[in-house]
Amino acid sequence: MDNIHPQESEAVTCLGDWLHPRPQQPWEQLCVLAATLIHVPPEVLDVGVVEVLARMAQLVGAQHAAVMCRDSQGHTRLAAQWGASGSGEAPQGDLAAEEWALLHHAVSPLFIADVAALPPGAWRDALQARGVRSRMLLPMRSGRGKPCLGGVWLETHDQHWTLDTETPRLLGHFSQLLAWAYARQRAMLAERSLFRDFQVLLENTTDFIYFKDAQGRIRFCSQNVAQLTGYTHWRELIGKRVSDLYSPELARIYEEEEGPVLREGRPLIDKINPYAAVNGGPAWVSTSKWPVRDEQGMIVGLCGISRDVTANRQAQEALARSEDLLRRAQAVGRIGSWLVDVPTDATEWSAETYRIFGVPPEQRIDTALFWACIHPDDHERVAQAWTRATTVPGAGYDIEHRILRHGWVRWVHERAEVEFSADGRAITCVGTSEDITERRRVRETLRLNEERDRQWLQALVEERTRELAVAKEAAEAASVAKSAFLANISHEIRTPLNAISGMAHLIRRGGLSSRQTDQIEKLEAASAHLLNIINAVLDLSKIEAGKLELQQHPVLIQDLLAGVASMVHERAAGKALHLHVEAAPLPCGVLGDATRLQQALLNYAANAVKFTEQGWVALRAWMLAEDAQRIQLRFEVEDTGIGIEPDALGRLFDAFEQADNSTTRRYGGTGLGLAITRKLAELMGGEVGARSSAGQGSCFWFTAWLDKVSSSPTLSGASCQAEVEALLRRHFAGRRVLVVEDEPVNREILQLLLENVGLVVALAEDGLEALESLGQQPVDLILMDMQMPRLDGLAATQRIRLQPGGFDVPILAMTANAFASDRQRCLDAGMDDFVTKPVSPERLFAALLTWLSTPRQPMAGDSATRG
């Protein structure tokens, strides 16, 4: 009761006072109750109704009375109940379903004089179980035709009612009074709830809401209007005008726009107005105002709503700036954008796209217009690209094509991405069209320029190629001339050397005095020196021409060093020099060209002995590094000789270079040995170097990469000349050998060498004599010179091989040409092997032993009888 208005509290007090016995008639009581219930607040209506129920029960002598209310959703509640003193506890719970059904349709009180007379069922059983004998149900309706708001029931337990006709009618008025009171309660509570909701709305809305009277004075408004204008509560604004709240400029704007609304009833919809924000910055609102009319339609004020659209306006301005920037950027970049709704063909173009396609901006666009702009020659290609893009997800659209409009042609590059639905249908296509006309023009100009330049360059290249071809032919001719010159020089020098060395060998075998032996040794030394010069020149020429091929055979490094030491041993012993050989063990065997390794190391060793007068010379070899397939070895020769000035070391490995001219005069030499060693080392993947000081000796070294091999080589067969000669005499004495040589001295020397090992020799001066000799007498082997008059060795060999059985006899070339190409010519002509001039007896006998040991058929007859 604390929240009851004073006037309402007085009404309740009066109602309580009326309940005391007073000498009033029922109709008078009804009038007093009606007048009093008007002022009862809805919150305590149920309290007052209990007293009314008591008065109603007293009128009919009932022991219990109650009011059940029902809302529009069918929910029921026990609003109030009364029980007479000593009648027991009043029943709790709802009315029976049968009673509600009766009340729903009833317009007057329902009277059950005898409960026992009710039809059997749960309803009668429940009433009898509580001792009810008579029961009355009164529907609560606030008027005729009004919905049933609930019901009043009264019951007696000690007697059956016998009522006159006036009492139920009077009770019906009482129930109607209660219906009106509860209807009023519902309306007042709903109104209060609505007012609370509206108040919450006004206090929490972000929109500015306000109501004004016809004179423009505020009646009420939302709380944020008070905050905006600097007030604490919205009630402080009641009665104020806009001129009291805003600046003159804003007040004038608001008054001018409200005039038509208040005078003419014209609503104002979504007008953008400025206003002063709380933070003092510029702000805008979207304002709508409507007239408010009374029951007679007269304008009594207005209702307004203003919504802050500052963020939207700023976003729109930013969007407008962005669109303007995009438009200008597209114009500068000559790139337009477009969008196509694929199912509907609805199309949107940017301003630049309109310009590129030559279409007025006001013209309606669709895909048909787009296709009309495509150049006829490009139509099919564009259609294929578009079909693929809109049917294959992820394919995309990227194409260059032409536009044909009003007689002019423009090139565009179009790119687009297509969005597909979940079921694979194309939905939208967003793309760009770039005007590349100028780019294509520049590209075409560049293409023409490139074509012109290409033709010019091609002509220049052809001319240069012709010049190079002429130069190449000249160079090749010079190379051929050089090779021919070297071959001729080699032949012309080796041929007499062959006679010199051969005669010296034969003379030495005949027995000599000590003086003669010394003379023969000097002769052989001079011959060997001359041969070394020729070999050095030829080796350097072959290396520079790229014609030197390295062989791959097992190499014993210890034997290699020992062999080089043996070659310089005699000269070292003559100077009383000590020779040292140091070869570190290797983890495996190696493959390499033993001849070239020996040549490179011998160049160092020979120089060391030459330039050392006393002390020692050491030959060393050891492993530096290895990988899965190779081993890197370092070879060096160190001496205690005259040494070299440091500034001369850098040029020692150049061809024809020596430390100084005095060494040339004193020690001799060509200056090719070190250059050959450097090139051989480089061919084997290595390098060369030296360290020395004048008077302190020298150390020369080179490195080489050699392939690994699982096992080391072993020597077999004849290991010295004496054994070879013995094998020839023992197994091949009497075998016939044809010597074809145009030089008489060489023929004589070869004849003597061959006869000394028991071979039978036939002689021929050229190829024609050789053919004639073979026609008369078969042989077991042929030694064929290369250069001869009338018919040279190559042509003679080819004719021999063409004869019946011509491949049954081995033919060995005797050549002074040391190039591999010359040797290949011998093999191509049909020769089996070659012996280089000047002929060394050791190499000659080794070759004879090899080829005579090879089983072959004789050319004619039975050679077994020629023993």
> CA 855, CA 502: separation in Å to the nearest integer?
30
Check pLDDT > 60 for residue 18: no
Rounded alpha-carbon distances, angstroms, from residue 2 to 191, 370, 500, 652, 838 = 21, 80, 154, 127, 146
Rounded alpha-carbon distances, angstroms, from residue 490 to 525, 555, 676, 790 = 19, 30, 18, 21
pLDDT band at 142 (very low <50, low <70, confident <90, very high): low
Q: What is the pLDDT of residue 375?
A: 92
Positive or negative torsion for Cα 377, 380, 386, 389: negative
Beta carbons within 10 angstroms of residue 317's beta carbon? 10
Strand partners, 230: none
Check pLDDT > 70 for residue 30: no
> CA 103, CA 424: separation in Å to the nearest integer?
63
Helical residues (DSSP H) of 214-350, grouped into ranges: 223-228, 242-245, 248-264, 310-333
Specify the length of the chain in residues: 867
Burial of 264 (0-12, 13-18, 19+ CB in 10 A): exposed
Q: What is the pLDDT of residue 107?
A: 66
Residue among 699, 525, 534, 704 nearest 607 (CA): 699
Strand, coil or helix: 623: strand
Check pLDDT > 80 for residue 401: yes
The predicted model gives 798-820 an average pLDDT of 83
pLDDT band at 545 (very low <50, low <70, confident <90, very high): low
Check pLDDT > 70 for residue 525: no
Residue among 426, 431, 434, 401 nearest 416 (CA): 431
Q: Which two tokens stand for residue 804?
A: 């019946």
Check pLDDT > 90 for residue 232: no
Lowest mean pLDDT among 94-103, 199-208, 241-250, 621-630: 94-103
Lowest mean pLDDT among 56-70, 134-148, 264-278: 134-148
Q: Which two tokens stand for residue 141?
A: 């309706």
Lowest mean pLDDT among 424-428, 470-474, 632-636, 733-737: 470-474
Q: What is the pLDDT of residue 7?
A: 41
- The string of pLDDT tens digits covering residues 148-168 is 788 888 888 888 887 777 777
Check pLDDT > 90 for residue 635: yes
Burial of 248 (0-12, 13-18, 19+ CB in 10 A): exposed
Strand, coil or helix: 557: helix
Positive or negative torsion for Cα 659, 661, 663, 664: positive
Residue 703 CA, distance from chain mean position: 45
> CA 369, CA 355: separation in Å to the nearest integer?
14
Residues 6 or more apart in contact with residue 386 via CB below 8 angstroms: 397
> CA 340, CA 397: separation in Å to the nearest integer?
13
Per-position DSSP letters for 794-862, written without gaps between them: HHHHHHHHHSTTTTSS-EEEEES---HHHHHHHHHHT--EEEESSPPHHHHHHHHHHHHSS----SSS-
> Do 672 and 656 touch, CB atoms closer than 8 A?
yes
Lowest mean pLDDT among 152-156, 536-540, 799-803: 536-540
Residue among 654, 660, 691 nearest 672 (CA): 654
Q: What is the pLDDT of residue 171?
A: 78
Helix axes 514-544, 437-509, angle to 10 degrees: 170
Domains of the chain with CATH codes? 6-193 (3.30.450.40), 205-308 (3.30.450.20), 315-435 (3.30.450.20), 557-709 (3.30.565.10), 721-865 (3.40.50.2300)
- The string of pLDDT tens digits covering residues 333-373 is 788 888 999 998 888 888 888 888 889 988 888 888 888 99
> Do 420 and 428 touch, CB atoms closer than 8 A?
no
DSSP 41: -
Range with top average pLDDT, 11-20, 374-383, 458-467: 374-383
Q: What is the pLDDT of residue 617?
A: 93
Strand, coil or helix: 114: coil
Rounded alpha-carbon distances, angstroms, from residue 126 to 65, 69, 98 = 17, 21, 12
Helix (H) or strand (E) holding 133: none
The predicted model gives 200-208 an average pLDDT of 79
What whole-number percentage of the chain has pLDDT above 70? 81
Evaluate if pTM is beyond 0.85. no
pLDDT band at 280 (very low <50, low <70, confident <90, very high): low
Torsion of CA 643, 647, 652, 658, to 10 degrees: -70
Helix (H) or strand (E) holding 648: helix 646-649
The predicted model gives 250-270 an average pLDDT of 90
Q: When comparing pLDDT for 771 and 59, which is higher?
A: 771
> Do 209 and 237 touch, CB atoms closer than 8 A?
no
Q: What is the pLDDT of residue 66?
A: 86
- The string of pLDDT tens digits covering residues 97-127 is 667 766 766 667 778 888 888 888 877 888 8
> CA 728, CA 757: separation in Å to the nearest integer?
6
> Do 736 and 779 touch, CB atoms closer than 8 A?
yes
> CA 269, CA 253: separation in Å to the nearest integer?
15
The predicted model gives 79-88 an average pLDDT of 74
Single-letter amino acid code for the residue at 841: P
Helix axes 97-105, 122-129, angle to 10 degrees: 110
Classify each residue of 508-543 as buried b or exposed e, where b means 16 or more C-beta atoms within 10 Å of its C-beta.
Answer: eeeeeeeeeeeebeebeeebeebbbebbbbbbbbbb
Q: What is the pLDDT of residue 819?
A: 62
Positive or negative torsion for Cα 326, 330, 332, 333: positive
Pairing of strands 688-692, 616-626: unpaired
Check pLDDT > 70 for residue 178: yes
